[in-house]
Structure 1
Amino acid sequence: MKSSRLLTILLLLETRGRMTATELAEELEVSVRTVYRDVEALHTAGVPLYGDAGHRGGYRLLAGHRSRLTGLYAREAEALVLAGLPGAAEELGLGAHFADAQLKLRAALPAPLREHVDRLRARFHIDAPGWYAEDDDTRFLPRVAEAVRAGRVLAVRYRRWKEPTDVDRRLAPYGLVLKAGRWYLVAGPGPRTYRVDRILALTVTDEEADIPAGFDLAAHWRACQEDFHARLHQGEAVVRISPRGAARLTGAAARALAENGVPEPDGWTRATLPVETPDHAHATLLALGTDVEVLAPPALRDRVAATARALADRYG
């Protein structure tokens, strides 16, 4: 969009200084002629932008010119990092700072760009959690976030899935991750991952957290996700599945069907699908009803058949 390019030109010149039309065109992946038109639009909007001729020429902003963002406070700057997710800023206790930062950012833009931003805000909304997700208990999230920012050890009482369920832990917070509407704390020792909604009690201590030098939260989370998916599907099931059943497959099963499925004369498809535990495979394949036939392994086929017979007996 043109308004997006105008903002990019403005920010490029603020951060890099003088740039030629050719350099701007290469950066924006547009023609030099388009850059000339965009520069003229910035002139019209009142931006103090000047062009110098000659070998060392190029476009530059009037000396000392900066976008009017100097009034941002630290919390408002933090809220800007979450600008794509206002709900996340609210949960972290930064909702008011987010609103203030948005107002200052809007005021800093030339009128045409301000109108463009207003149109985008009116037409885009992010609602990350799924339709059937229950509301998590995140009452401790702002304090966890404060400990992450300050680098302070947390003393928590945490509820886990195995016995003993309620345990006390001292955690060095490395960072927070929002995944599918749910907040996770990555913390040492380990590091390990903790669901924030399972924290039962919390104290932010004065002890400084020892975070390994060079720790990369995003890289760590990607590695955890890859390991999770590698361990998730360790079994296989050979099935015949109807077109209607195939349309209901998702995730790894849908990908496997597309990659190794063999069409059969009756319109069904034979494929080897990845499965999790025997219990999960049994429940998942039963949910497809008469649109799937389990061929192997024999134990899974027998179990599905036994359940089908029991259902037939129950319903007469």
Structure 2
Amino acid sequence: MSAITPPGAASARSHALRRLGERYGLVLLLGAVCLFFSVLPASSPAFPTTANLQAVLGNIAVVSVLGIAAIFPLVGGHFDFSVAATSLVSSIACAALLSDHHVPLPVGVAGGLLAGLAVGVVNATLVAALRLNAFIVTIGTATLLPGVVQWYTGGVGITRDIAQPLRDLGSGTWLGLPRVIWPVAAVIAACWFVLGQTAVGRRLHAVGGNPSAARLVGISVTRMSFLAFVISGGLAGVAGVLLTARNGGGLVNSGVDLLFPALAAVFLGGTAIDPGRYNVLGTVVGALFVALSVSGLTLAGAADWVPDVFNGVALVVAVAISTLLARRRGQAGAENT
């Protein structure tokens, strides 16, 4: 006689497979994209090369850090649309200190980081302390900061006397990978640990999930929201310093156009690794997916407007899927309580 699988076991197996598909579906899709552009005649000569991989990894360095910067407010229930503009200010601050004031490299880097932290503190004060709408505040900040940069620079980039070690960080390689990837890997590891393995991360998730319930268990919603925006500003400052390294200086329009690729990475990341939650590793996979797809489209000879359309579609689809997964996760949690 053939063994009969109990209905409960079949249901559990089906649920496990579905969860596995949700966790690693984006990774499989990333592999499929790489395979497709590797065999497509128009892109196959250049796409699977080491040079293209190095270029893609170098390009996603800043996007990945900006995406992770946006995660902290999102986990706490707020949007931060100013991360890209903050990185621009940090880049200009770093370049100006090095070029115009001839400070040592560590001081220039510290100045760039402090500029990002300052913007984060301003956002945190307006949103967490004064309880203003984060959507409006950060859009206002994102509009204001590029104007300040234009005023300060007169519309001219700052590229003179940028310290060579910083330039080397942005353009050199180490162990076959772009040097800029190594500090980004450290940022990824640190943020993954904070959000997933510490009390701060658990409290921030609790605030974003249900602020009222978080207050009832003694969590300060104001303090956690404030901290989220400060961390976001600090990480945007890191992205700004890396942007200076990549560009060899502070360019007045650089970085602002990275907001939507970064958000696409964040929301795509919310569909993978830990589905229904904004998470660091998923964001990195999302950044890779967007960058490799755009690289493949470009090498295949796609029109100039195609990458912008792809980024927009990816963002909309990612928001829809991550929202549905978050709702399913919430319903499952409610049923289990």
Same fold (TM over 0.5): no
Q: Which has the higher contact order (CA 8 A, sep 6+)?
A: 2
- Larger gyration radius, structure 1 or structure 2: 1
> Quick check: which one's helix share is greater?
2
- TM-score, normalised with respect to structure 1: 0.22
